[in-house]
């Protein structure tokens, strides 16, 4: 089993079983999501799976050899070794045949022996035609697996192979990965509620134009994903995200700073943690034109008059309920490390937050990227943590710091 250190997100050994259905090609996405999340992924693919997706693809994505044959690696007792080492087993797609084999406890191939030799949680993502999914044999097998504690993700309804439409489509890869990781925790936020703002607000000039910013919402969405995986009840106040909100979070869509403030204030009234990851407009047009601004009416130059928006974060921190932790973000273009820290420290104190996550942004840095590099400051402006890597690992590190080390400066 994998050791946990307080300074690093938990790296799990995950066995990803891929069986022979057309959805096997989507298993590449599951492997990728797990690898991007920082986990060590070992793929066990059936012969059937390898007819749908190539071994080199799976090896490149998982960064490990792909195992298929029960009679390879006999000297290292591979038929049980993989299962014994696993922290988590995910089977995606799980065909009707695989589900029947699992229910019967068959050990005729490497995936079967791996599952039987393991005490790790098992998560399966069924994929098959609707008739097969609804067949009494499959229904009974699924019921058996559920009683043994197996987690079933999906299937979704939608377009199947050929012209069929119905239940049986494999769940989306990111959903499978996130649901699987949620099973193993850590569940240190179980029962806690967290509201997270993400994305960038847009302030309208007229019905077709707005003043906005380049925030993609990826770090806020990763925080939502990480919090869900750790058992929290998550609300995402979403301002124009480039990515889908995670399944399992309640998403509230907002446009402007004013809408974001109203949604955050309402949600913060009952939340344990409040995280302002959204890039909120600091200024908005003082007047919004009813109709589209026309060049003939405006002339050769256009002067915009803008007014300050409320500082949502400072307001939330000031009015926080007892015990609530408030987290802000600071995206800065300052190149000098010392000055970046002193700007951050001043901002943490000025906004009255418990934690300020500082990151550097620029023309080619920060926004839209899948990785991040952050420094965390407590309410007094002292450095309490750093994180580097994909946004999901950074999110976990922020939650670690939040859950463990942040002194409440407002008591
Ligand atoms: N924020 C907010 N309301 C605003 C502006 C920002 O709640 N009107 C929040 C952001 O969500 C972020 C934090 O404040 O968590 C820091 O935002 P930032 O733009 O770095 O800070 P500002 O106070 O706007 O300072 P600056 O003058 O550096 O822009």
DSSP-derived pairing of the beta strands 209-211 and 306-308 = unpaired
Question: Buried b vs exposed e over 339-351: b needs ≥16 C-beta within 10 Å?
Answer: ebbeebbebbeeb
Instruction: Report whether the peptide linkage leading into residue 97 is cis, meaning its omega lies within 30 degrees of zero.
Output: no
- What are the per-10-residue average pLDDT scores of the chain (411 residues)? 44 96 96 92 97 97 95 82 95 98 96 96 96 97 94 87 84 90 84 96 98 95 90 96 88 98 98 98 97 95 96 98 96 91 97 95 73 93 91 89 62 42
Separation of 346 CA from ligand 1 center, angstroms? 12
CA of 315, closest atom in ligand 1: 7
Give the Cβ contact number of residue 130 at 10 Å.
16
Give the three-class secondary structure for 99.
Answer: helix
Q: Whose CA is nearest to atom 19 of ligand 1?
A: 330
CATH tag for 193-404 (out of 3.40.50.300, 3.20.20.70, 3.30.750.24, 3.40.50.10300): 3.40.50.10300
Sign of torsion over alpha carbons 251, 156, 139, 182 = negative
CA of 309, closest atom in ligand 1: 8
Tell me the C-alpha distance between 330 and 345, whole Å: 10
The residues carrying an active-site annotation are: 213
Separation of 331 CA from ligand 1 center, angstroms? 8
List Cα–Cα distances, 314 to 237, 320, 339, in angstroms: 17, 10, 22
Among residues 348, 194, 195, the alpha carbon closest in space to that of 260 is found at: 195
Give the three-class secondary structure for 291.
Answer: coil
Mutate to test the pocket of ligand 1, among 351, 367, 374 (most ligand atoms within 8 A of CB): 351
Separation of 354 CA from ligand 1 center, angstroms? 15
Q: What is the pLDDT of residue 340?
A: 94
Tell me the C-alpha distance between 141 and 341, whole Å: 57
DSSP strands (E only) in 21-63: 40-45
Tell me the C-alpha distance between 261 and 379, whole Å: 22
Tell me the C-alpha distance between 321 and 298, whole Å: 48
Tell me the C-alpha distance between 131 and 141, whole Å: 15
Q: Whose CA is nearest to atom 4 of ligand 1?
A: 311
CA of 356, closest atom in ligand 1: 15
Exposed/middle/buried for residue 410 (C-beta within 10 Å: 0-12, 13-18, 19+): middle
Tell me the C-alpha distance between 362 and 331, whole Å: 9
Q: Which residue has the tokens 């098992």?
A: 122
SS (H, E, C) 115-146: HHCCCCCEEEEECCCHHHHHCHHHHHHHHHHH
Calculate the dihedral angle through the C-alpha atoms of 277, 224, 185, 401, rounding to the nearest 10 degrees: 10
Instruction: Report whether the peptide linkage leading into residue 287 is cis, meaning its omega lies within 30 degrees of zero.
Output: no
Q: What is the pLDDT of residue 256?
A: 98
Among residues 287, 279, 290, the alpha carbon closest in space to that of 304 is found at: 287
Domain 13-184 fold is: Rossmann fold (3.40.50)
With contact defined as beta carbons under 8 Å apart, do 354 and 408 qualify?
yes
Separation of 303 CA from ligand 1 center, angstroms? 24
Q: Which residue has the tokens 């790296």?
A: 11
Q: Whose CA is nearest to atom 24 of ligand 1?
A: 282
Tell me the C-alpha distance between 279 and 257, whole Å: 9
Q: What is the pLDDT of residue 1?
A: 40
Among residues 238, 204, 208, the alpha carbon closest in space to that of 221 is found at: 238
CA of 313, closest atom in ligand 1: 7
The terminus-to-terminus CA distance of the chain in angstroms comes to: 40
Pocket of ligand 1 (CB under 6 A): 257, 276, 278, 280, 282, 309, 311-313, 328-331
Separation of 330 CA from ligand 1 center, angstroms? 7
Exposed/middle/buried for residue 204 (C-beta within 10 Å: 0-12, 13-18, 19+): middle
Give the three-class secondary structure for 37.
Answer: coil
CA of 328, closest atom in ligand 1: 15
| Two structure tokens written together for 56 | 């080199």
Annotated domain spans of the chain: 13-184, 193-404
Q: Whose CA is nearest to atom 12 of ligand 1?
A: 329
Separation of 310 CA from ligand 1 center, angstroms? 10
Tell me the C-alpha distance between 194 and 234, whole Å: 5
Tell me the C-alpha distance between 249 and 245, whole Å: 7
Q: Whose CA is nearest to atom 14 of ligand 1?
A: 313
Mutate to test the pocket of ligand 1, among 327, 330, 376 (most ligand atoms within 8 A of CB): 330
């Amino acid at each position: 089993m994998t050791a946990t250190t307080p300074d690093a997100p938990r790296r799990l050994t995950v066995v990803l079983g891929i069986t022979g259905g057309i959805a096997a090609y989507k298993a590449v996405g599951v492997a990728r999501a797990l690898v991007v999340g920082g986990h060590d992924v070992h793929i066990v693919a059936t012969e059937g799976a390898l007819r749908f997706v190539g071994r080199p693809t799976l090896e490149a994505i998982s960064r490990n050899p792909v195992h298929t044959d029960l009679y390879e690696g006999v000297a290292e007792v591979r038929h049980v070794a993989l299962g014994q080492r696993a922290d988590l087993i995910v089977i995606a797609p799980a065909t009707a045949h695989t589900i029947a084999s699992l229910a019967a406890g068959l050990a005729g191939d490497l995936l079967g022996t791996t599952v039987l030799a393991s005490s790790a949680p098992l998560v399966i993502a069924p994929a098959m035609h609707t008739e097969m999914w609804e067949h009494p044999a499959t229904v009974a097998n699924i019921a058996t697996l559920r009683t043994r504690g197996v987690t079933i993700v999906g299937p979704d309804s939608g377009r199947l192979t050929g012209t069929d439409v119905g239940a049986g489509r494999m769940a989306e890869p990111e959903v499978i990965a996130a649901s699987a990781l949620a099973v193993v925790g850590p569940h240190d936020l179980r029962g806690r509620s967290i509201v997270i703002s993400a994305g960038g607000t847009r302030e309208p000039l007229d019905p077709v134009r707005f003043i906005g910013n380049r925030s993609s919402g990826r770090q806020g969405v990763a925080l939502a994903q990480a919090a869900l995986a750790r058992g929290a009840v998550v609300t995402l106040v979403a301002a124009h995200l480039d990515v889908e909100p995670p399944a399992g979070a309640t998403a509230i869509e907002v446009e402007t700073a004013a809408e974001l403030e109203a949604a955050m204030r309402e949600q913060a009234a009952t939340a344990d943690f409040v995280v302002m990851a959204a890039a909120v407009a600091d200024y908005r047009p003082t007047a919004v034109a009813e109709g589209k601004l026309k060049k003939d009416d405006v002339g050769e130059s256009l002067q915009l008059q803008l007014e300050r928006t409320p500082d949502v974060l400072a307001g939330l921190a000031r009015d926080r309920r007892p015990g609530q932790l408030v987290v802000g973000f600071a995206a800065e273009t300052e190149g000098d490390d010392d000055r970046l820290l002193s700007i951050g420290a001043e901002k943490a104190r000025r906004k009255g937050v418990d934690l300020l996550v500082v990151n550097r942004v620029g023309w080619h840095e920060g926004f839209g990227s899948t990785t991040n590099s952050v420094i965390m400051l407590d309410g007094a402006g002292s450095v309490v943590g750093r994180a580097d890597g994909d946004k999901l690992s950074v999110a976990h590190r922020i939650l670690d710091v939040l859950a463990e080390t942040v002194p409440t400066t407002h008591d």
